[in-house]
Amino acid sequence: MFEIYDRLAEQALQGEAPSEDDGLWVLEGEDVQLLPLLQAAYAPREKHFGRTVMVHVLNNVQNGLCAEDCGYCAQSKSSEAAIRKYPMKSDEEILAEAENAARAGASRYCMVLSGRGATLEHTRHLAELIRTVKETLPIEVCLSAGLVNDEQARILAEVGLDRLNHNLNTSASHYPEICSTHSYADRVETLQAAKNHGIGSCSGMIVGMGESSRDILEVAFELRELEVPSIPVNFLIPIEGNRVLSDGSLTPERCLRALSLVRLVNPGAEVRVAGGREGHLRAMGSLALWPANSLFIEGYLTTRGDDERDTYQMIEDAGFEVHGNPTWQAARDAGVDPASNPTPDAAEPAQGSFRLRGGDGEILKPEISRPTRGV
């Protein structure tokens, strides 16, 4: 009865991917048992990462004002989400926020800019910021700045950018359903440019956008093909005003099956339980740590999420440990525990099946949402 789980685990430990049939079974087999599946996905996770959890902090350094029409994105021209739009933050602000991320224990600081892509001049400016963060803080730097060509990748590689993020989001065949202003192939080219210049790539998916299980499978295999070392798995956050809203497929079990599949197909990758973790997994959130070894704290680009305290407590309660940056790790070893004295929030009213702690049921981050809708 448990042979298939043992086989999946053994294949992943050998670095082999499951067959297509097994992958589809993981996603939609009626006889799948969740705990043995999670345990199978845990085998390669433990082999490569032990029981550690890497923590990332996102900085939305430029919000909205994007001419692209990605249907899931509150920053898109096609979205009527009540977000505050702003051009790129000042260098001082970006550097101060990097310092805060390092202090919170984050091992990576991800700067994210809205838009199709940066100009060459803008890329040089970003490169200088990346150089400064890397020279002054014990934290690795990731950048998400839209499409990146070969020359831009060269500039970013020169300053030691650790990772370039560009999500595939969904399969090639489903891509036109979510975006018409750029193509899946454009996204793959950006990942190739990063790879050509030795920058680690970070690319993942968004589940819950009306895709089939086969679409999820295709993305997982494409990421394997591209040898992507860092894979964020997002679960669509239903932001009012966006064109693509939840397709109703996202139960905690569906999320955990998708994470398990991604891990089994990409056994050595840093698999991240990313956007939508809190609202879609809810009480089952800690089970995501069996397939995933990485997460975000303090929310996402435009939406709220659990803070450092609640997240670290969840990690510790599940028997895992935060793998922080070296300075944070040293402080912790000296007896300073960021997960101490937690004060869990009371349960909040549900907003459909998606629920976040605190914030009176509001999904958007307070600093992102406009005070008056429609302004």
Helix ranges restricted to H, the chain: 3-13, 20-28, 34-49, 91-103, 120-136, 150-158, 175-178, 184-196, 213-225, 252-265, 308-317, 326-333
Q: At closest approach, how far in Å is the CB of 300 from ligand SF4?
A: 12
The residue (of 146 and 238) whose beta carbon lies closer to ligand SF4 is: 146
Question: For residues 127-186, which are near ligand SF4 according to CB under 6 A?
Answer: 146
Q: At closest approach, how far in Å is the CB of 167 from ligand SF4?
A: 8
Q: x-or-dash pattern for ligand SF4, window 47-86, by CB under 6 A? A: -------------------x-x-x--x-xx----------
153 vs 359: CA distance, rounded Å: 39
Tokens 């397709």 belong to residue: 247
Q: x-or-dash pattern for ligand SF4, window 352-371, by CB under 6 A? A: --------------------
Based on the shown chain and the rule CB under 6 A, indicate whether residue 116 belongs to the binding site for ligand SF4: yes
Q: β-strands 108-113, 140-144: how paired?
A: parallel
Q: At closest approach, how far in Å is the CB of 335 from ligand SF4?
A: 42
Q: At closest approach, how far in Å is the CB of 90 from ligand SF4?
A: 20
The residue (of 293 and 369) whose beta carbon lies closer to ligand SF4 is: 369
Q: At closest approach, how far in Å is the CB of 174 from ligand SF4?
A: 15
Q: Provide the residue type at 308 as one letter.
A: E
Based on the shown chain and the rule CB under 6 A, indicate whether residue 205 belongs to the binding site for ligand SF4: no
Q: Which of 11, 39, 59, 114 binds ligand SF4 (CB under 6 A)?
A: 114
DSSP 3-state assignment of 357? coil
Q: At closest approach, how far in Å is the CB of 357 from ligand SF4?
A: 26
Work out the number of other CB atoms within 10 angstroms of the CB of residue 28: 14
Work out the number of other CB atoms within 10 angstroms of the CB of residue 113: 22
Q: At closest approach, how far in Å is the CB of 28 from ligand SF4?
A: 28
Closest CA to 230 of 49, 33, 27: 49
223 vs 265: CA distance, rounded Å: 9
Based on the shown chain and the rule CB under 6 A, indicate whether residue 276 belongs to the binding site for ligand SF4: no
The residue (of 85 and 224) whose beta carbon lies closer to ligand SF4 is: 85
74 vs 184: CA distance, rounded Å: 20
User: Residue 270 belongs to what H/E stretch?
Assistant: strand 270-273
Instruction: Kindly list the residues in this chain that would bind ligand SF4 in the complex (CB under 6 A).
Output: 66, 68, 70, 73, 75-76, 114-116, 146
